[in-house]
């Protein structure tokens, strides 16, 4: 039982870790204020779930989920990335909410507020007792792939250009790079990764509904990135680990002490205080951005 | 003529920043651009490099009209500009800045996975070239330091190193030696002079002595207009220049 709990925690760390890496590419390395991360997570989740329910194999659902997230990433990026940072934040935030309302209201497709039930879990009948172990391994394989992919592109000329855009977009222009194209590309990659994360989430819990995709999820991932260490892929995974640990840890406190406060509220207070402390005293996060030695 | 600027006009609200500016710049020369603060020098560079659209007038580079092009398109034609306040990529090392400036790098993502060997081969060649340039500027030992940790003078050297890295045909240089000690300033201009055989320079600079030594021709601007033009000797003797700029 306790082992299951640990595995469940690890699966969530992996799923959020992938989301945090995807946000890190956009916001950490390139400073694109994507406040609509949850939208691309939701697209991956719904697309993959709907296809699986309709009988498609898990991998097909996953691939379509990734492609659809990437496509919507592209469509949102085209108008949004021409905006200044704060307006980009507003547009992406609204997109996430619009999409959630779409899932809530288009009952013919998404079953509305009742959500999608019985999302098939890959290889469930075969593995039976070892299912959590299998799923943990699978999530971590995807996490490692996303990590390696992100490291690879950040160590390439493409990545150098992204970092330069973060520091001074005009100067990058002056060196002959069309910065808009770079921003669109990284937005598509980030959205595709969020799609992977969403699909893994949907098939793990086997039930999704629109109320799982509130903007608070986006901000939770932002917190992981800021506290973990923005522009450091290991850092943001550490952030995902810490936030998951706190979210779950606070649930147990009520077993040991009478706080006179709901544990879920305590959780928000603790994470909020932690975020403030990090921004004030350790803005680079748990693991700070690595200097690349050439 | 490598660059012809004809009758450029640009105003910001009620302020006329450029009031019919024309320049003709010959290939492989160093041309100075001087004038009091607010006379429109930086605006002119912004217009030539495409960061600001002029209201009227034309700009021809090697016979091609570039006045409606975007900054990155102009940069790709080989016009490289630097910025007045040395722009520093805060989270990047000196070598990373140099790699960014390279024109031979592959920034494609697909190629990174389909042909990683070629991408890293090119990058290694770029790193090698960057090291040589930095070495020649006496900042070779700073390659792996953050660009923001460099001193003012070193940042100017890096700025010039990045210009060399792009191998431009034409450089718009905004105050390459502002705030630098005279010895280093002379050294930077000696390097610029060495590059003259393959590159043309339009240089904004307040250090008159240096311009007199190194420029082939000088334009003087005042209140959005070109008020004088000539060789350094002619400019030095021009009464109106002495009045508005040299402060006779």
Please count the other Cβ atoms lying within 10 Å of the Cβ belonging to residue A4: 11
Contact A167 B89 (CB under 8 A): yes
Residues A36-92: tens digit of each pLDDT: 999 999 999 999 999 999 999 999 999 999 999 999 999 999 999 888 888 999 999
Number of alpha carbons in the 13 Å side-chain half-sphere of residue A34: 37
Task: Give B-chain residues touching A153 at CB under 8 angstroms.
Answer: 109, 112
Contact A171 B89 (CB under 8 A): yes
Q: How far apart are CA A85 and CA A68, in angstroms?
A: 25
- The contact set of B with A (CB < 8 A) is 49, 51, 70-72, 75-76, 80-83, 87-93, 95-97, 99-103, 105-109, 112-113, 119, 123, 127, 143-144, 146, 162, 166
Domain ranges of chain B: 3-88+167-246, 89-149
Nearest to B27 by CA among B242, B230, B214, B195: B195
Q: Which CATH class is domain B3-88+167-246?
A: alpha beta
Q: What is the pLDDT of residue B248?
A: 45
Cβ proximity of B212 and B241 under 8 Å: no
Q: Mind telling me how many Å the CA of A160 is from chain B's nearest CA?
A: 6
Contact B107 A161 (CB under 8 A): yes
Residues A97-130: tens digit of each pLDDT: 999 999 999 999 999 999 999 999 988 777 777 8
Give the single-character DSSP code of B61. Answer: E
For residue A279, pLDDT beyond 90:
yes
Contact A163 B96 (CB under 8 A): yes
Q: Model-level pTM?
A: 0.91
Nearest by CB: B127 against A153, A164, A294: A294
Residues A194-211: tens digit of each pLDDT: 999 999 999 999 999 999
Q: What is the pLDDT of residue B87?
A: 63
Backbone φ/ψ region at A260: left (φ over 0), alpha (ψ -120 to 50), beta: left
Task: Give A-chain residues touching B76 at CB under 8 angstroms.
Answer: 176
Name which residue leads in pLDDT, B244 or A234: A234
Residues of chain B with pLDDT > 70: what percent? 96
Task: Give B-chain residues touching A177 at CB under 8 angstroms.
Answer: 72, 75, 107
Q: What is the mean pLDDT of chain A?
A: 93
Per-residue tens of pLDDT for chain B, all 248 residues: 899 999 999 999 889 999 999 999 999 999 999 988 889 999 999 999 999 999 999 999 999 999 999 999 999 999 998 876 556 687 899 999 999 998 778 888 889 999 989 998 999 999 999 999 999 988 999 999 999 898 888 888 898 999 999 989 999 998 888 878 888 889 889 989 999 999 999 999 888 889 999 999 999 998 999 999 999 999 888 887 777 665 54
């Amino acid at each position: 039982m306790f082992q299951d709990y640990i595995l469940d925690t690890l699966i969530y760390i992996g799923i959020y870790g992938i989301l945090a890496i995807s946000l890190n590419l956009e916001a950490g390395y390139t400073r694109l204020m994507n406040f609509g991360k949850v939208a691309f997570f939701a697209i991956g989740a719904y697309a993959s779930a709907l296809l699986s329910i309709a009988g498609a194999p898990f991998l097909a659902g996953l691939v379509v989920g990734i492609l659809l997230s990437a496509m919507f990433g592209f469509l949102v990026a085209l108008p949004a990335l021409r905006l200044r940072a704060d307006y980009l934040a507003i547009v992406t935030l609204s997109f996430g909410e619009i999409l959630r309302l779409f899932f809530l209201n288009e009952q013919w497709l998404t079953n509305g507020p009742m959500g999608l039930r019985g999302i098939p879990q890959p290889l469930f009948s075969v593995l039976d007792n070892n299912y959590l172990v299998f799923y943990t391994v699978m999530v971590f394989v995807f996490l490692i792939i996303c990590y390696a992919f992100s490291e690879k592109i950040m160590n390439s000329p493409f990545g150098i250009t992204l970092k330069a855009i973060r520091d001074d977009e005009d100067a990058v222009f002056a060196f002959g790079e069309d910065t808009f194209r770079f921003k669109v590309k990284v937005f598509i990659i980030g959205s595709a990764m969020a799609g992977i994360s969403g699909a893994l989430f949907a098939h793990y819990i086997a039930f999704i509904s629109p109320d799982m995709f509130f903007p608070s999820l986006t901000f939770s991932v932002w917190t992981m990135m800021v506290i973990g260490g923005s522009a450091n892929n290991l850092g943001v995974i550490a952030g995902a680990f810490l936030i998951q640990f706190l979210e779950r840890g606070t649930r147990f406190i009520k077993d040991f002490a009478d706080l006179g406060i709901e544990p879920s509220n305590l959780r928000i207070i603790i994470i909020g205080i932690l975020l403030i402390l990090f921004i004030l005293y350790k803005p680079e996060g748990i693991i700070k951005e690595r200097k690349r030695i050439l | 003529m490598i660059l012809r600027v004809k009758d450029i006009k640009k105003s910001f609200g009620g302020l006329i920043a450029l009031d019919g500016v024309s320049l003709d710049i010959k290939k492989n020369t160093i041309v100075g651009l001087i004038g009091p603060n607010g006379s429109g020098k930086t605006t002119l560079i912004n217009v030539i490099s495409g960061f600001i659209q002029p209201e009227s007038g034309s700009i021809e580079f090697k016979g091609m009209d570039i006045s409606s092009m975007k900054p990155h398109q102009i940069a790709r034609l080989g016009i490289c500009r630097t910025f007045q306040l040395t722009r520093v990529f805060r989270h990047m090392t000196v070598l990373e800045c140099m790699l960014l400036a390279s024109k031979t790098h592959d920034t494609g993502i697909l190629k990174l996975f389909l042909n990683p060997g070629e991408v890293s081969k090119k990058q290694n060649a770029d790193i090698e070239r960057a090291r040589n340039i930095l070495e020649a500027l006496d900042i070779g030992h700073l390659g792996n330091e953050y660009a923001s940790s460099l001193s003012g003078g070193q940042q100017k050297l890096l700025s010039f190193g990045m210009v060399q890295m792009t191998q431009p045909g034409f450089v718009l240089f905004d105050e390459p030696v502002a705030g630098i000690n005279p010895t280093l300033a002379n050294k930077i201009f000696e390097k610029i002079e060495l590059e003259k055989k393959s590159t043309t320079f339009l240089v904004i600079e307040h250090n008159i002595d240096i311009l007199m030594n190194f420029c082939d021709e000088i334009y003087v601007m005042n209140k959005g207009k070109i008020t004088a033009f000539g060789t350094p000797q002619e400019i030095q003797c021009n009464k109106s220049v002495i009045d508005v700029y040299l402060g006779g």
